């Protein structure tokens, strides 16, 4: 929590990010005094003073909102030269002003762009750019084919230059207002210089290729927006609510609250994340996982908003509001991923303006040397020979970093779109780059290497004869937990129709279990660590170990000790994944809170290189820190609340499935929407391919700049060749990035089995 002038703001992301985004926006808008956001209801208002242009404000605001989209405002922040406050779920950020200024403000409500709008705008944008590039190229082609001296030659080239440079001119104007320079400025400068010395064709060719590469870049971005919009269209809009008197009423999904009872008929969408309370059916969860296989749903099973009820009439109790559903989280994650920069991308963007200034300085020095030192004619027309100015324009073209700027984001966006189509969600470019370089993969056991669908196999009580009471106590507490072990015990209680006790003061004990107050007094349910207290040591010495592969849960109260044994199945595909990782030279480690016997048995069956069992959450974190201190790049794979700290500490965090805990999903850099560990290989595969494409693009872009810049210093490179080389490399890196969309997944899972598009092209090199 950070204070600014006595007023407080709370957000979930770093203070610097909010300072830069919100404070910069307010500072850049002279007639805007404050901004008020409610991200949960997607509402935004601006306080204006004096005359403003709402259309211009909306356009500028959209850029800010798209960067904020996908972020949950819960962390801390404060902004320099701003004041901020939080009322309910609304964030208020305002400029310091005199006490009377707020009374003069006029609050205006603006639209928060939704994914469908983003897709429509993105589609219109790339099509507009493609039209401008086509018009530019068509006019240039016709002018080139006309006979020399034609009266239409210059008008056609003028139209070509206007069409090709229109978007660059708009962007340059916006950047100049912010006192920034970028590649668009360089392109316009070269085109204007070429026209000044009569090289109209070269200027038009430059802008044609530049506008074409821009259209290709926006096409890649549009593909990602299409993935988001497709998910958004899958979200239900209406729900059938069961009222207390038993009647049904259709309500808007946005009106649903926790605890509401809904009726869902066959072939209807589940409106929110919920638990089945009556009936049974099966669900098509392909919108979340990419896999069309029917998932059985019976009483007590959890269903997810936006998935399809296949054949049964069911009633369900809403667990989370629609805005916090698994589908909503996926949409938010993909939106956020588009704006999260990869480390290499941030490096190139950081030096955008300095590089532009250096380039202009080098070109100016070269011009002066050619003119004043070497005696080259300074301003001769292009038709009269290579003047110093002509050579300077050629040097400026080849040094412009268009290809370098596009080489990384184009590959990152293509990889994000590829993953989204296959149930793999990357939070941004950093996750893609880092996953390709990991040297150690640490994995939780339950729910990751095993299915997590535990079944109670045996209940013991000490003294004997009170097994039903042990199950009743455990099921009463575990009804309040979402851990896989707790769900299994709660399910056993429901199957045996156990009457649950009322639990108060429920408390989770990370790494051990849980406690709660019941009519039987204080009850503890958890792992063997609970038995380490001196009070229970005599009991532990008398009780034999469980068999290999069995998990155990202890139940402790004043006069009763019980043990529940559970079976879990190894997840199909775990062995193949571990073999592939080992063949790739990656070390595998199991980090689990389970007891040693159960952990080593699973590790033996799977061939895990290293096992560390009986770990508390903080001990998992310490294990990852130790591996990191050895110079290893560590990826952690998990799904539970206990995994969240170690996920946060790992270099790359991978969460299992839409069924993973909220804490795990919040920390994850990569989310595998299917409960299939094989998708880890898919995620690593596309990360490796994307990193390879990024290296190829950087080699192409930097190589062309260095080679052509050195060649241009000789004064023998014509402007047209410089334009073709420069813009050709830009188009090449975009097309190279688009190849990622055709990458075939590794064959650890067949494409049909995982919901991939049949007939996809083979993987790229």
CATH number at residue 440: 3.40.50.1000
Residue 441 confidence (pLDDT): 92
Burial class (CB in 10 A: 0-12, 13-18, 19+), 369: middle
Residues 542 and 583 both lie in one domain: no
And the tokens for 203? Answer: 């200027």
**Pairing of β 261-264 and β 238-242:** antiparallel
pLDDT at 78: 34
Whether 41 is in a domain gets the answer yes
| Stated pTM of the model | 0.60
Q: DSSP states of 416-433 as a string?
A: HHHHHHTTEEESSHHHHH
Using CA atoms, how far residue 589 sits from 148, 188, 249, 483, 753, in Å, is 73, 55, 52, 22, 28
Asked, for residue 678, whether it belongs to a domain, the answer is no
> CB–CB of 547/435 below 8 Å?
no
Q: Are residues 278 and 135 in the same domain?
A: no
Is residue 362 in some structural domain?
yes
242 and 212 together in one domain: no
- Euclidean distance between the first and the last CA atom of the chain, given in angstroms as a whole number: 48
Total domains in the chain come to: 5
Tokens describing residue 605: 């069956």
Alpha helices in 640-743 (DSSP H): 644-649, 662-667, 679-712, 719-738
283-316 per-position pLDDT tens digit: 877 666 555 567 888 888 888 887 888 888 999 9
What CATH number is associated with residue 255? 2.70.150.10
Tokens 């170690």 locate to 646
Whether 314 and 266 map to the same domain: the answer is yes
Query: Is position 630 within any domain?
Result: yes
In this structure, the answer to whether residues 523 and 558 fall within a common structural domain is: yes
Question: Would you say 82 and 96 are in contact if contact means Cβ atoms under 8 Å apart?
Answer: yes
Separation CA 404–CA 401 (nearest Å): 5
Place of tokens 């490179």: 717
Q: What CA–CA distance (Å, rounded) separates 395 from 382?
A: 15
Handedness of CA 613, 618, 624, 626 (dihedral sign): negative
208 and 352 share one domain: yes
Active site residues: 444
Backbone angles phi, psi at 550, to 5 degrees: -95, 140
In a domain, 525, yes or no: yes
Report the pLDDT value the prediction gives residue 56, as an integer from 0 to 100.
66
Residue 179: which region, alpha, beta or left (left: phi > 0; alpha: psi -120 to 50)?
A: left
Does residue 124 lie within any of the structural domains?
yes
Q: Cα-atom radius of gyration of the chain, to the nearest Å?
A: 31
Claim to verify: residue 138 and residue 188 sit in the same structural domain: yes
**């019980």: which residue's tokens?**
562
Residues 464 and 558 in one domain: yes
pLDDT value of residue 337: 44
Which residue ranges of the chain lie beneath pLDDT 50? 1-19, 70-88, 337-348, 384, 748-765
Residues 461, 543 within the same domain = yes
By residue range, what is the domain housing residue 725?
118-227+341-412+690-742
Residue 357 neighbours by CB under 8 Å, 6+ apart: 181
CA atoms within 13 A on the CB side of 293: 11
Same domain, 556 and 477: yes
In whole angstroms, what is the distance from residue 330 CA to residue 684 CA? 19
Question: Does the residue 548 lie in any domain?
Answer: yes
- Identify whether 325 is part of a domain: no
Contact 271, 238 (CB under 8 A): yes
Element spanning 743, H or E: none
Contact 414, 741 (CB under 8 A): yes
Could you tell me if 517 and 503 are in contact, meaning their C-beta atoms sit under 8 angstroms apart?
A: yes
* DSSP state string for 205-232: HHHHHHHHHHHHHHHHHHHHHHHHHHHH
Indicate if 432 and 382 belong to the same structural domain. no
Among residues 284, 319, 354, the one where a domain terminates is 319
The whole-number pLDDT of residue 347 equals 47
Residues 723 and 661 in one domain: no
544 in helix, strand or coil? Answer: coil
């Amino acid at each position: 929590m950070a204070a600014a002038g006595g007023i407080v703001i709370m957000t979930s992301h770093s203070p610097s990010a909010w300072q830069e985004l919100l404070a910069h926006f307010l500072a850049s808008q002279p007639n805007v005094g404050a901004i008020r956001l409610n991200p949960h209801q997607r509402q935004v208002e601006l306080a204006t003073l004096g005359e403003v242009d709402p259309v211009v404000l909306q356009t500028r605001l959209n850029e800010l909102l798209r960067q904020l989209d996908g972020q949950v405002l819960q962390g801390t922040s404060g902004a320099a030269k701003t004041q901020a406050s939080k009322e309910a779920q609304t964030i208020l950020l305002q400029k310091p002003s005199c006490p009377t200024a707020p009374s003069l403000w006029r609050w205006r409500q603006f639209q928060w762009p939704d994914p469908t709008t983003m897709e429509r705008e993105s589609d219109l944008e790339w099509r507009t750019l493609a039209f401008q590039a086509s018009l530019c190229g068509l006019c240039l082609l016709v002018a080139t084919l006309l006979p020399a001296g034609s009266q239409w030659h210059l008008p056609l080239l003028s139209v070509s230059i206007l069409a090709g440079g229109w978007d660059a001119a708009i962007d340059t104007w916006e950047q100049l207002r912010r006192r920034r320079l970028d590649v668009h400025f360089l392109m316009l400068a070269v085109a204007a210089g070429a026209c000044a010395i009569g090289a109209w064709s070269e200027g038009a060719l430059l802008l044609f290729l530049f506008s074409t590469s821009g259209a290709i870049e926006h096409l890649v971005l549009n593909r990602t927006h299409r993935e988001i919009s497709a998910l958004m269209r899958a979200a239900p809009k209406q729900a059938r609510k069961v009222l207390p008197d038993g009647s049904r009423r259709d309500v808007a999904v946005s009106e649903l609250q926790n605890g509401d009872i809904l009726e869902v008929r066959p072939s209807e969408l589940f409106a929110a994340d919920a638990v089945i309370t009556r009936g049974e059916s099966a669900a098509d969860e392909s919108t979340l996982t990419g896999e069309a296989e029917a998932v059985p749903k019976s009483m007590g099973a959890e269903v997810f908003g936006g998935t399809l009820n296949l054949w049964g009439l069911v009633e369900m109790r809403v667990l989370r509001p629609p805005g916090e559903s698994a589908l909503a989280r996926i949409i938010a994650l993909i939106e956020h991923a588009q704006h999260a920069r990869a480390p290499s991308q941030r490096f190139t963007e950081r030096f955008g303006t300095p590089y532009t200034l250096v380039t202009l300085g080098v070109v100016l020095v070269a011009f002066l040397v050619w003119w004043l030192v070497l005696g080259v004619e300074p301003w001769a027309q292009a038709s009269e020979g290579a003047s110093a100015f002509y050579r300077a324009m050629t040097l400026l073209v080849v040094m412009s970093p268009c290809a370098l700027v596009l080489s990384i984001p184009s590959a990152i966006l293509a990889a994000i779109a590829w993953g989204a189509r296959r149930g793999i969600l990357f939070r941004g470019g950093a996750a893609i780059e880092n996953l390709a370089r990991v040297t150690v993969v640490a994995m939780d056991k339950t729910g990751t290497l095993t299915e997590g669908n535990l079944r109670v196999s045996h209940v013991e009580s000490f003294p004997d004869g009170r097994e039903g009471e042990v199950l009743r106590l455990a099921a009463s507490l575990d009804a309040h937990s979402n851990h896989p072990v707790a769900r299994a015990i709660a399910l056993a209680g429901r199957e045996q129709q156990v009457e649950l006790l009322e639990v108060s003061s429920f408390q989770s004990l990370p790494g051990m279990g849980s406690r709660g107050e019941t009519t039987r007094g204080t009850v503890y349910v958890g792992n063997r660590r609970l038995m380490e207290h001196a009070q229970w040591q005599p009991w532990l010495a008398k009780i034999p170990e469980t068999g290999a592969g069995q998990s155990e849960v202890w139940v402790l109260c004043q006069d009763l000790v019980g043990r529940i044994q559970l079976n879990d199945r190894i997840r199909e595909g775990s062995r193949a994944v571990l073999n592939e990782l080992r063949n790739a030279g990656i070390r595998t480690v199991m980090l689990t809170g389970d007891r040693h016997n159960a952990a080593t048995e699973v590790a033996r069956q799977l061939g895990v290189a290293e096992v560390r069992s009986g770990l508390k959450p903080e001990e998992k974190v310490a294990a990852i820190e130790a591996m990191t201190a050895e110079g290893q790049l560590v990826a952690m794979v998990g799904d539970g609340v206990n995994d969240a700290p170690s996920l946060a500490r790992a270099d790359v965090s991978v969460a299992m499935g839409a069924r993973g805990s909220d804490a795990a999903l919040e920390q994850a850099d990569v989310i595998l929407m299917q409960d299939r560990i094989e998708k880890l290989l898919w995620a690593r595969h596309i990360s490796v391919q994307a990193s390879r494409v990024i290296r190829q693009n950087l080699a192409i872009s930097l190589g062309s700049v260095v080679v052509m810049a050195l060649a241009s210093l000789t004064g023998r490179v014509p402007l047209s060749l410089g334009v073709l080389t420069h813009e050709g490399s830009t188009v090449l890196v975009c097309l190279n990035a688009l190849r990622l969309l055709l990458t075939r997944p590794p064959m650890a899972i067949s494409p049909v089995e995982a919901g991939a598009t049949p007939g996809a092209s083979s993987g790229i090199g």
